[in-house]
Structure 1
Amino acid sequence: MLREFKTFIAVARHGTFASAGARIGLTQSAVSAQIHRLEQELGFALFDRTGRSARLNAAGRETLALAEELMALYARIGEHGGATERSGMVRVGSIASAQVSFLIDAMAAFRAELPGCRIRVVPGVSLNLLGQVDAGEIDIAVMIRPPFALPSELEWRTLVMEPFVLLAPAAMAGQAWSDALESAPFIRYDRSSFGGRLVDQFLRQSRLAVQDAIELDELQGIVQLVARGLGVALIPQTAAQGPWPLGVTALPLGDNTFHREIGLVERPRHSRQPVASRLAEYISEAASGCKV
């Protein structure tokens, strides 16, 4: 019944069968079937169903706490395997830019101290990584700080503040960033990402009109489009970036500079693996040495 309990936890967190299914890769009908099977097995209803929403009843709330404990214990069985705290597996989620910068140094230092521990790096965008930590599918995540409050049971640790710049073709060097932004085609950092939302918020607050041309989430792809002369872009200057390619200039935003906050999301200390806490410390140390 572990699969059904996992689905039950997802429905409890996301409020509807459809939303839960979208997060765990099931159709609404599959979610409904699993919940029905679980309720039959337990012998009582878990939700008060009203319209499309599924609200936990009293029995459901009690069952949720036990189900979360059960899933956490199950996850830890495979990772500990009866071994000491110097072994096991740590599952760390990470956005792309961190995977090729300070996360490399952190993993090297961690493995030097704990060679018996395995690391699995789970790539993803920040929103998905947040959900995976919340669901217990990964231990920690390096991600962009979300524009909303984290679930109360998760903790945030800031690692790096990355300033945004206006990336433009080299021929525009010396122009005022605002003039360049409004006069050239705009290559937009995907608005569905946390970083892209920061750009969108900045443009609205600055009352700047842009000529949208292309929208994508991959920062290296944005850089290459600017290098081809296809437009300008507001992107964060990351530790992984290195020198800008030929044909590109970065125009500072001066007093208007805004930042992308990169940090660690962790579960509360009492529910963390000791080895996950140790890797988190190495990640924090490695990030503190990054120069953006």
Structure 2
Amino acid sequence: MTTYAVTGASGQLGRLIVESLLARGAHAADVVAIARTTAKAEDLAARGVAVRHGDYTDPASLDAALAGVDRLVLVSGSEVGRRAAQHANVIGAAERAGVSRIVYTSLLGADTTSNPLAPEHLATEQALAASPIAATILRNSWYLENYTGQLDTYAQTGTVLGATGGATIAAATRADYAEAAAVALLQDAEGDTYELAGTRFTLADLAEAASTVTGAEITHSDVTVEQLATTFQEVGMDAGAAGFWAAIDGSIAKGELDTDSTALEQLIGRPATLLADAVAAARA
């Protein structure tokens, strides 16, 4: 019997990975959902999943959470600037617990991109490479939800604002990436690195799709990275955060969130979710 665990299981991606494990045939009794706030995973416990407290900043809690676990999905943390140390805590606890394999949710092109989110992911990949635990790296591209979650704003302003220079983005839904993580955990894929991405589109395509589902006239406005950072500051971001998030669009403009890799579809055994379908589902 193999015991599977997922960190961040009360979060959006982690919960979907647990759901995908169950849908792919894992028995609930063999699945451990690790969450900082276990109350948010009570519904999983009601289905027979073992819900355990685990905080990336608390190694003792991670030791307890990983007891008896064979395979682990390490879902990258949400606290930018603290993630490398937090992930190292999980890897250390996994080593002490005797975990045999870790699947990690990294970032597309983590070792080559200028995306400011990449260094912490790359540091985690390097920590996994130095660990005796076999690892599978899932380099996820952008979530479609990063855009579909802003449909109301697009409709209210009539604009999809960005500094991507018309570059193509390859993205997929959280559910797509979650299913890939579940498959990778269930399969024997030690040592593999997957560049994962789905539907390819520009922000102009996004504006057109958003117009279709909302009925509003929405156009794409492309600005410079500096102008985007200024706009972010005008809506309340401090200068550092504004520059950081605007720089992501700068990396997109260089083509760094685009790929023709079909690894995602190969893993999940179906086409990734299309932009139009994701936008329509978000509106519904």
More strand by share: 1
TM-score range, shorter chain: under 0.3
Structure scoring higher RCO (CA < 8 A, sep ≥ 6) equals: 1
TM-score of the superposed pair, with normalisation by structure 1: 0.27
Query: TM-score, normalized by length of structure 2?
Result: 0.28
